[in-house]
A = this chain, B = another copy of it.
């Protein structure tokens, strides 16, 4: 159906498939800037027995956890890229056991079972393109760094055994363009939507913007205001807090490149 509809294969250019082929062959680099104009997604994979809780966690926390697709148990296929194999086509994975990081392989075929359900979750890379098109500078791109991300003092709404803090990404935005940034991203609710907070990092429990919990520090320019968006690392933080026996995610910045043009997730 409209916003969440899978793309027509005819819409997909070669760029996403080419990127996935390189990752499948072993290239293990961050996916930022790959296949520009195509949506990239966060990955969370859990045993079927935990999948209801994760699906409900997404339903209850749609800003940090916008679910773009959920696979059938055991299937490594997604409507977001019908030719892709979720076990091989990301540049790097993280494997979690009891909430602890247990490895960062580039292929998870040997770990895959008929019991696993994969969740593809919207990523703010999609709205960065929209911000640039609207004339809003994106400092982390200018500085060639990963975006800054922070655990906040706000709890997500729990779902069964899953709970954890809201994680936000922060981008410094010139004060005169904050309203534009809100409007542009509000039109893209499936890739985190409007900011959750503008200015006043201490109100989110963030002590020092220069010391992010994930990603890199990003320098603000004179007159920039820190703007905070819900972040797709939120479900990883919930896995770390809630400790399911087994999980696979993408490695930070090493996303799944889909065949879906970013424009599909832009609303009126």
Chain A residues with CB under 8 Å of chain B are: 1-4, 51-52, 55-56, 58-64, 67, 70, 72, 160, 183, 186-187, 189, 193-194, 196, 230, 267-268
Of the candidates B59, B183, B267, the one whose C-beta lies within 8 Å of that of A67 is: B59
How far does the Cβ of A22 sit from chain B's closest Cβ, in whole Å?
A: 30
Say yes or no: A1-B64 contact (C-beta < 8 A), given A52-B52, A55-B56, A59-B70. Answer: yes
Given the complex of chains A and B, what is the CA–CA distance between A193 and B230 in angstroms? Answer: 24
Closest to A193 in B: B2
Asked if B3 contacts A189 (CB within 8 A), the reply is yes
Residues of B within 8 A of A186 (CB): 2, 267-268
Residue in B61, B72, B194, B268 whose beta carbon sits within 8 Å of that of A183 in the complex? B268
Contact (Cβ within 8 A) B62 A70: no
Q: Are A2 and B189 in contact (CB under 8 A)?
A: yes
In the complex, which residues of chain B have a beta carbon less than 8 angstroms from the beta carbon of A4?
60, 62
A59 CA to B51 CA in the complex, in Å?
13
How close is A58's CB to chain B, nearest CB, in angstroms?
8
CA distance in complex: A249, B194 (Å): 34
